[in-house]
A and B are shown apart, each in its own frame.
Chain A
């Protein structure tokens, strides 16, 4: 009996975790390539889902399964809204970089402002505390009652299994794109050395904005997978973004597979903590992990693992070539 419950909990955690992993992958990609941390990323996940629902179903959405046309529209709009929002934030961030501002305050505050404006703007239109959103993918219809029967007599929600499968497939596909394609090579080159890449004819700034957009596409997918089947509030994005940041830092900035794994781990731990101690504690867990991992293993922030080899040292007293041992 307890094993069955645990299985349910872990599976739900993994499903939540793969969503975190997708968001974390985007976070990691942006942090590695554009060398800014996307503080608005979590808000973009929730914002993309709500914008698409607003466009398709209006201001009073219900969880009722949408028609075929509405489903396609919802799917396309969510992905497009994610990519567009993130690309917009990225474009503004990368362009304003041209003014050579001295410190990181401007992009930090800019990202936070973008998230806050998105959240507050949606709250103007969507006044309820929380919403139940429709599912464009219709995964619950795949099995009667939305439950899969296991050989041993237990059941698992088909939604969790589908989310896990789609999320993993999308994450691994993104990794393959980054590792194999021409675009991926450009991304890795910019992550390693933007100036050097630009000298070789790679449009570094455009690649950075493209990395933001790809991250936004993944955020849109995460929104599609995560929002149905639960109460979603306009303000959920901030904590989601921080949990994703924890997963990205845990997995190593710039490592797509690490981000996915970090997301799965955090999702699982969060589900178990929620089962054992309640959701209040489960909410704290990623925050504690984020602070702890940053304190114990600080990321050096330059390109990260996207470059495929250890990061270059930050300018300090000794040069890389002369370091002994």
Chain B
């Protein structure tokens, strides 16, 4: 068994995700083979690139069902940026494309009508509260910032069993973080968010059952 299977979407910047895993001593394997998921205690879906291409890639590699089964098994999953968005119902990026659809919301593009900057690049805080509720943010103060780089987003929502933290771009409030059961989804890049980002990897490691 290995700690984490990192799914290689071929377009992702794997180096920094790998660097973060190494830094917190997570044993990882990089794969796009469904069989490897069975041997892993946790899953990371990183992501740079377009939604459509990524979904086509997952389909081609017959990874969608294994990812859903992985979720059903209760093992922790970390989704980053595009790797977050893929777990939603659909995205309008390069034509409406269906996602893995574990959370029933859509991914949309920022528009200048909402006074949003496109792309949204830079560091932002994600909570107005005194403390983070979710244990993935253990030992992190809410005044700390995280690094975002994206043009698509999921609107802020409130649902039972979902823990959501938000950021804004112009008039749009979007999901910066969503936790649903064993799914931990980040619109920002923990592996690019300096020491605070590494703390997220450390906390993720603690969720992995040996």
A and B interact physically: no
